[in-house]
Chain A
Amino acid sequence: MLKPGEFYQRDREWHPPALTRDYKTSVSRSPQYSLISLQNSVSEITGPVFGHNDIDPLDNDLIHNYAKSGESAIGERIIVHGRVLDENGRPVPNTLVEAWQANAGGRYRHWKDTYLAPIDPNFGGCGRTLTDENGYYYFRTVKPGAYPWRNWVNNWRPSHVHLSIFGSGFAQRLITQCYFEGDPLIAKCPIVNTIPDKAAQGQLIAALDMNATIPLDTIAYKFDIVLRGRRSTLFENRLEGN
């Protein structure tokens, strides 16, 4: 069997560190010891495979996937679309992308969310899709509202969509958040600011994409997602005892 290449190491200076005091919940939930670095084995290089039997074609339309027949979610209609690529710039096809978000008023359909803004009866707030052979994905949804949260006395989350992505190997597993160009709350957000590098933060801000809008219907934002890339297997590094 050909030995598949390992994933490039995760750039821990590009990601947020575990302990970020201004995001208070991280203080008691961050490991204190250093992570132990592992060369990839078959356990990390492989990962779950999903297919079209797992999901429904309407699952990526958040405007309609929880709405009563003939009705739709309230809010600014948007498309969030882009490609899932790896660090080599290659598309990641047939991979599962899951999304969840607050409604247009900033309220989540979750029994733990008690914010004043009302639940939209026609909006569930989650979706999922598989990338196509070119790594392309899209969701139709409404722009999520900003909402307050308990951290400092007066913190507000910028509009955001949570995204969960698999890739081909378990080492690529990623959860992130997509923000929207022009939102003044982004720079003030302690969760955004867990990421130390401003350029890395910018990678989480979707661009207004007028070319992808549907005129008189839906505005669009482009959000490409990059997963870890893999070494090519020109040379094997065979370590004693491994």
Chain B
Amino acid sequence: MTQQLSYLKETPSQTAGPYVHIGLAPGAAGFDIYKQELGWDIAGPNSEGERIRVEGLVIDGTGSPIKDVLLEVWQANSEGVYAHPEDGRSVEDGFRGWGRVISNFETGEWAFETIKPGRTQGRNVGTQAPHINLWIVARGINVGLNTRMYFEDEADANAEDPVLNIIEWERRRTTLIAKRTERDGQIVYRFDIKLQGEDETVFFDI
């Protein structure tokens, strides 16, 4: 007999289901309950950096937009600092760097406004290209999907990014790079996420 390890097992994931809005965005489910819903203001009013809008679709294997998806956003500020004690540096007052957004029930389009993040520390050395971490849950998704959105206009940083570079297939790296456009004076990044099929988005086991 060997000794027993005493680690616990992580609680298994279950789908967020079709009614995820009740718990995480009750206003979208059709009722008003909390004094404030969480996650609608990612960057706050005082943050430095370029104000941007990010929008897209999450598309299923039939090519249809998913209309009941919820995404969570986690990002650094324009200096590459995460609003978390372990980052060790401070962020602007009101910058949380976290948010949640749901798709439009009719069209599947989702969008959020934030600031463009800066380069963040690499795991051991160097830096990571500016990116937004995304976590995607919906009916039919058994374990939330992790991916990252990078920026088209950061080609040099992207070329050096340690995470993009571990993706063996260069063709697949492009699925993580949002397209930059300008509309009515606003900077808009387009980031469609494909769960299956041609140009399936890269998802990570983090």
> Which B residue's beta carbon lies closest to that of A108?
B19
**Contact flags (1/0) for B142-185 with A, using CB distance below 8 Å?**
11111010000000000000110111000010000000000000
Is B83's beta carbon under 8 Å from chain A? yes
Which residues in window 48-70 of A have CB below 8 A to B?
A: 48-50, 54-56, 59, 65-66
Q: Which of B16, B22, B120, B123 contacts A175 (CB 8 A)?
A: B16
**A18-B142, A50-B38, A85-B8 known; A110 vs B120 contact (CB < 8 Å):** no
Q: Which residues of B contact A16 (CB under 8 A)?
A: 12-14, 142-143
Complex CA–CA separation, A21 to B72 (angstroms): 26
> Which A residue's beta carbon lies closest to that of B36?
A54
The prevalent SS among residues of A at the interface is: loop
Q: Which of A37, A38, A108, A203 contacts B12 (CB 8 A)?
A: A203
Q: Which residues of B contact A191 (CB under 8 A)?
A: 14-15
Is B141's beta carbon under 8 Å from chain A? yes
Q: Which of A14, A49, A164, A168 contacts B10 (CB 8 A)?
A: A14
CB A204 to nearest CB in B, in angstroms, measures: 6
Please classify how large the interface on chain B is, using the bins under 10, 10 to 19, 20 to 34, 35 or more: 35 or more
Complex CA–CA separation, A25 to B139 (angstroms): 7
Q: Which of B14, B64, B66 contacts A194 (CB 8 A)?
A: B14
Is A208's beta carbon under 8 Å from chain B? no
Q: Which of B34, B60, B131, B163 contacts A28 (CB 8 A)?
A: B60
> Which B residue's beta carbon lies closest to that of A53?
B36
CB A232 to nearest CB in B, in angstroms, measures: 13
> Which B residue's beta carbon lies closest to that of A34?
B205
Complex CA–CA separation, A3 to B29 (angstroms): 41
B13 adjacent to A108 (CB under 8 Å): no
B121 adjacent to A113 (CB under 8 Å): no
Is B125's beta carbon under 8 Å from chain A? yes
Which residues in window 6-30 of B have CB below 8 A to A?
A: 6-24, 26, 29-30
Complex CA–CA separation, A171 to B178 (angstroms): 22
Q: Which residues of B contact A124 (CB under 8 A)?
A: 22, 26, 31, 33
Q: Which of B98, B142, B144 contacts A23 (CB 8 A)?
A: B142
Q: Which of A3, A49, A236 contacts B85 (CB 8 A)?
A: A49
**Contact flags (1/0) for B96-120 with A, using CB distance below 8 Å?**
1110000001000000000000001
Which residues in window 1-31 of A have CB below 8 A to B?
A: 1, 3-4, 7-12, 14-18, 20, 23, 25-31
B11 adjacent to A46 (CB under 8 Å): no
B206 adjacent to A40 (CB under 8 Å): yes
Q: Which residues of A contact B6 (CB under 8 A)?
A: 89
Is A239's beta carbon under 8 Å from chain B? yes
Q: Which residues of A contact B13 (CB under 8 A)?
A: 15-16, 174-176
B10 adjacent to A31 (CB under 8 Å): no
Complex CA–CA separation, A45 to B201 (angstroms): 23
Which residues in window 165-195 of A have CB below 8 A to B?
A: 168, 170-171, 173-177, 191-192, 194-195
Complex CA–CA separation, A55 to B8 (angstroms): 30
Q: Which residues of A contact B133 (CB under 8 A)?
A: 43-44, 170
> Which B residue's beta carbon lies closest to that of A35?
B205
5 CB contacts below 8 A, A to B, read A15-B13, A29-B140, A31-B145, A33-B202, A35-B205
Q: Which residues of A contact B (CB under 8 A)?
A: 1, 3-4, 7-12, 14-18, 20, 23, 25-33, 35-50, 54-56, 59, 65-66, 85-89, 96, 98-100, 108-113, 124-126, 128, 162, 164, 168, 170-171, 173-177, 191-192, 194-195, 200-201, 203-204, 225-229, 236, 238-239, 241-242
